[in-house]
Amino acid sequence: MNKTKRTEIFERLRVQNPNPTTELIYKTPFELLIAVVLSAQATDVSVNKATTELYKVANTPESILDLGVDGLKKYIKTIGLYNTKAENIIKLCQQLIELHNSQVPHDRKALESLPGVGRKTANVILNTAFGEPTMAVDTHIFRISNRIKLAPGKNVLEVEKKLLKVIPDEFKKDAHHWLILHGRYTCIARKPKCDQCCIFDLCEWKGKSQNKKP
């Protein structure tokens, strides 16, 4: 895919959604961090339902730490892998208090050192909470990047590096959200909604010939 096509793709996505953001509900970087940790292998809808109740009683490292593992589990038990996530979040809160003055660090290395926080989660925090032009490659972005030939890669890190290389600078801050939302609602896994796609004519997916716009 050439530069002209990539630029047009993001121009159209920007017109369609000028101010994209995460669908996770949060008010502070800490609330976002907890929500993103919980969102691994879970839907944003399920996470929002859990955190809406959790944040009413605990939305700081200290207050969640006070809940303890068992107390936290009561609020997140509807979310996949909640046992492991509860243990990681309690440890994460301890580290934030002890090492970062209860603040979410604005630093990749520090973020990735927190329990339950990997590269993708760190990228989400750096992008959404701090406005950095990072690319958190989830299943949606990985699928789209390979399907439409935007930035093909064999693994998420390869796709991440290619996207940061080929996406024009003016779009990098919001590209993460545009691609996730496009993959979540239009370029879905099993049967892409090509008839609703704003970048259909720019897509280089071979299978689109079987799923033409009317």
Q: Catalytic residue positions?
A: 120, 138
Q: In angstroms, what is the C-alpha Rg of the chain?
A: 18
The widest CA-to-CA distance across the chain, in whole angstroms, is: 59
Closest CA to 124 of 108, 110, 102: 108
To the nearest 5 percent, what fractions of the chain are helix, strand and coil?
A: 65, 0, 35
Q: How many residues does the chain have?
A: 214
Contact call for residues 118 and 104 (beta carbons, < 8 A): no
